[in-house]
Amino acid sequence: MSTMNLEPVPGRTDEMIVNMGPQHPATHGVLRVVLGLEGERITRAVPHIGYLHRNHEKIEEARTYPMVIAYTDRMDYVSGTQNELPFVLAVEDMLGVEVPDRAKKIRTIFFELYRLASHLVWMGTAMLDLGAISPFLYTFWDREIILGIVEKTAGARMLPNYYTFGGVRRDVHPDFFKDVADFLDHMERRMVDYEHLVLESPVVHARTKGVGVLDQERAVARGVSGPVLRASGVAYDVRKAFPYDAYPDVEFEIPTSPDGDTYARFWVRFQEMYQSIRILRQLLELTPKTGPYKGRAPARLKPPAGERYRAVENSRGELGVLVVSDGSDKPYRVKHRGAAFSNLQIIPDLFVGAKFSDAIAILSSLDPVFGEIDR
Amino acid sequence: MSLLQEVWQAVKAIGTGMATVHKRVYEEAPTEFYPYVKPELPPVSVQSLALVENEDGSERCIVCLQCERACPAQVITIERHRNPEGKGFLIDRFDIDLVNCMYCAACVEACPVSSIVTIQDFEMSTYDLQTLKADIDFLHEQARRARQWYSPKFGVELRTDDGRIEKAPPEMQPGGLAEILKPAEEVDS
Ligand code: SF4
Ligand code: SF4
């Protein structure tokens, strides 16, 4: 217990134990960190999670395979369909379902649209944490357009329940490709503004450069992934390492930065948005306007007994799922590997020694989403 | 960095910030002034559920329990008994707990006759959660009030002013039009 609730060290009167969260607006939801403070400097930090626990993995054991897709959505609620994909891929592998080429591309378009949406939310909230309010309004404005495009096709904005075994649930709206192309034009103009407001701002430089440095060995040892890992100079991206869906067909780069500080994590996310736009542009060219959107999946979904792990690169890192089947129509076990959950484990390493206001900047650069962390 | 450079950097940053704000002021926002302007939702948007009756007031639902089986949140409760005269079943009870429903539309997808549909009535806030424990009358009423609804099998359907049910024109239909129109023709014939 003593590691969970920080006990004052006898004889150390200069250390103050402070509770940050779970209602603190800068903790992106419901994170609680117990901090030992020596003046402005953090001496100890213990993150507490679980305030949003909804027992996803256990519920999913009691649901049939198609039902589980609706539940996976609710994990990382900022990045919508990205959560559905690992589970869908794993079950498709077990069933041996063929996915039509066009369905794969549509899935990838949605995947990258949600990456843009998620990074826009990150940018807005991170700048809000640093004290700038306007970028938050602008990024949510742009995200609104993405969600509008998704709603037109999938019927919901944040939790679309759109992917299914063998493809997607329904064909895209006739305007879909034009809408996405228009949005990309809009987004490219907006990225110039965001560069000015965020990356080139001297305030952001002062707040983030050299703050919360995560070196390469520690990043790998702690199992972080996604932009946090790539900002520490490790070029690991599931999209390249274990390509899925339409990623083998498109060209893109993995931006990495050797610095490992908070600014590097900001910068990597920014470059990822450019890469997303690039991927989307290629996919718009490659995707046929009409054609099959769903392969043949058996009506009675009963994967043979066995297990399968599939991972995807979602906006926060490697999102994996281990599905164990016992041959019935319900999974025996579904284990999610959350990217934000793993990234959160470096909080004690990064917080200790930093100033309190830097802790907020570091936390926002990790981009945690508590729906996924607490599951 | 010299002091002069720092001052110049700060002035430039403030300048670009103000310029961006100024640029945005004149752009049209994608949001609506909600209580005054009702947003126009796409026809496939899942906001609430309804149970459609046929034009003559008879039940469209054949009580096959597919929706109950497909519901991930398991909030649909149906009880039925065999029709004493003729074939099929009659509904004893058809409840959807709209409080715990997660609006995933899996039930709508499963329904073979497009009886349960999604509608765009999103104004469901209430002081009393019990009012959202929908029974069959509530669901019928939702459908009667709705001007249009969507189900994957029949596509978008409209209610005309004289109470008839019509298929929406193709330009109102969402994607997958070919698949949507085919089963509809079979039903019409
Ligand atoms: S929308 Fe989903 S949760 Fe709601 S009743 Fe239908 S299947 Fe159940
Ligand atoms: S699936 Fe359709 S027809 Fe079957 S019980 Fe449900 S609403 Fe009625």
Of A102, A74, A78, A73, the C-alpha closest to A88 is A73
Contact residues for A65 (Cβ-Cβ < 8 A; gap 6+)? A91, A165, A301, A303, A329, A330, A331
Rounded Cα gap, residues A249 and A286, in angstroms: 9
Which CA distances in Å does B151 have to A210, B142, B183? 54, 15, 12
pLDDT of residue A26: 67
Chain B residues in contact with A74 by the CB 8 A cut-off are 102
pLDDT of residue A41: 86
Judged by CB atoms closer than 8 Å, whether chains meet at A202 and B174 is answered as no
Q: For A74-201, where are the alpha helices, taking DSSP H only?
A: 84-95, 101-130, 134-154, 176-194
Q: What is the mean pLDDT of residues B112-117?
A: 86
Judged by CB atoms closer than 8 Å, whether chains meet at B174 and A176 is answered as no
CB of residue B64 inside a 6 A radius of ligand 2: yes
Count of structural domains, chain A: 1
A–B CB contacts, 8 A cutoff, strictly below = 95
Pull the structure tokens for residue B43.
Answer: 């026809």
User: For position A100, which CATH number holds?
Assistant: 1.10.645.10
Rounded Cα gap, residues B71 and A70, in angstroms: 10
Ligand at shortest distance from the CA of B118: 1
Does A12 reside within a domain?
no
Rounded Cα gap, residues B88 and B94, in angstroms: 16
Whether A126 has its CB under 8 Å from any CB of chain B: the answer is: no
Q: Which residues pair with B133 in a beta bridge?
A: B97
pLDDT exceeds 70 at position B182: no
Report phi then psi at A332, rounded to 5: -75, -40
Judged by CB atoms closer than 8 Å, whether chains meet at B13 and A202 is answered as yes
Q: Which residues pair with B49 in a beta bridge?
A: B118
pLDDT class of B186 with cuts at 50, 70, 90: very low
Q: Where are the domains of chain B?
A: 48-175
Contact residues for B20 (Cβ-Cβ < 8 A; gap 6+)? A134, A138, A193, A196, A197
Judged by CB atoms closer than 8 Å, whether chains meet at B20 and A196 is answered as yes
DSSP state of A157: S
Does A20 reside within a domain?
no
Search chain A and give the residue with CA nearest B150.
A155
What ipTM does this complex have? 0.79
CB of residue B139 inside a 6 A radius of ligand 2: no
Whether B76 has its CB under 8 Å from any CB of chain A: the answer is: no
Search chain B and give the residue with CA nearest A201.
B13
Of A276, A266, A271, the C-alpha closest to A228 is A266
Chain segment B52-86, per-residue pLDDT in tens = 888 777 788 888 888 888 888 888 888 888 888 87
Whether B48 has its CB under 8 Å from any CB of chain A: the answer is: no
pLDDT tens sequence for chain A (375 residues):
445 667 777 777 777 888 887 777 666 778 888 888 888 888 888 888 888 888 888 888 888 888 888 888 888 888 888 888 999 989 888 888 888 888 888 889 999 999 999 999 988 888 888 888 888 888 888 888 898 888 888 888 888 888 888 888 888 888 888 889 999 998 888 888 888 888 888 888 888 888 888 888 888 888 888 888 888 888 888 888 888 888 888 888 888 888 888 888 889 988 999 999 999 988 888 888 877 888 787 777 788 888 889 888 888 888 889 999 888 888 888 888 888 888 888 888 888 888 888 888 888 888 888 888 888
pLDDT of residue A50: 81
pLDDT of residue B189: 35
DSSP state of A257: -
pLDDT of residue B185: 42
Task: State the distance from the centre of ligand 1 to the C-alpha of A54, rounded, in angstroms.
Answer: 18
Model pTM score? 0.86
pLDDT of residue B175: 62
Of B54, B81, B70, the C-alpha closest to B144 is B54
Closest atom of ligand 2 relative to the B111 alpha carbon: 1
Contact residues for B34 (Cβ-Cβ < 8 A; gap 6+)? none
Which CA distances in Å does A191 have to A119, A183, B131? 12, 12, 46
Whether A159 has its CB under 8 Å from any CB of chain B: the answer is: yes
Q: What percent of chain B has pLDDT over 70?
A: 91
Whether A155 has its CB under 8 Å from any CB of chain B: the answer is: yes
Report phi then psi at A35, rounded to 5: -115, 135
Judged by CB atoms closer than 8 Å, whether chains meet at A202 and B10 is answered as yes
CATH of domain B48-175: 3.30.70.3270
Judged by CB atoms closer than 8 Å, whether chains meet at A68 and B72 is answered as yes
Token pair 């014939």 is found at B189
Whether B102 has its CB under 8 Å from any CB of chain A: the answer is: yes
In the sheet where B133-134 sits, what is the strand order?
Answer: B76-82, B89-97, B133-134
Contact residues for A285 (Cβ-Cβ < 8 A; gap 6+)? none
Rounded Cα gap, residues B165 and B150, in angstroms: 12
Rounded Cα gap, residues A304 and A326, in angstroms: 7
pLDDT of residue A4: 61
CB of residue B106 inside a 6 A radius of ligand 1: yes
3-class secondary-structure state, position A109: helix
Whether B170 has its CB under 8 Å from any CB of chain A: the answer is: no
CB of residue B19 inside a 6 A radius of ligand 1: no
Whether A174 has its CB under 8 Å from any CB of chain B: the answer is: yes
3-class secondary-structure state, position A112: helix
What angle is formed at CA A167 by the lines to CA A246 and CA B45, rounded to 5 degrees? Answer: 115
Q: Give the distance from residue A252's alpha carbon to the nearest chain B alpha carbon, in angstroms.
A: 29
Q: Print the SS3 string covering chain B.
A: CCHHHHHHHHHHHHHHHHHHHHHHHCCCCCCCCCCCCCCCCCCCCCCEEEECECCCCCECCCCCCHHHHHCCCCCEEEEEEECCCCCCEEEEEEEEECCCCCCCCHHHHHCCCCCEEEECCCCCCCCCHHHHEECHHHHHHHHHHCCEEEECCCEEEEECCCCCEEECCHHHCCCCHHHHHHHHHHHHC
- Minimum CA distance residue for ligand 2 atom 4: B64
- Minimum CA distance residue for ligand 1 atom 6: B107
Rounded Cα gap, residues A202 and B13, in angstroms: 7
Rounded Cα gap, residues A147 and A154, in angstroms: 10
pLDDT of residue A203: 82
Token pair 């392969």 is found at A295
Q: Give residue A192's domain range.
A: 56-374
CB of residue B71 inside a 6 A radius of ligand 1: yes
Ligand at shortest distance from the CA of A155: 1
- Minimum CA distance residue for ligand 1 atom 8: B71
DSSP state of A198: I
Does A45 reside within a domain?
no
pLDDT of residue B109: 85
Q: For chain A, where are the alpha helices, taking DSSP H only?
A: 56-61, 65-73, 84-95, 101-130, 134-154, 176-194, 202-208, 216-222, 227-230, 238-241, 262-286, 339-344, 347-351, 356-366, 370-374
Q: Which amino acid is at A170?
A: R
- List the single range of A125-134, A306-315, B103-112, B153-162 with lowest mean pLDDT: B153-162
pLDDT exceeds 50 at position B87: yes
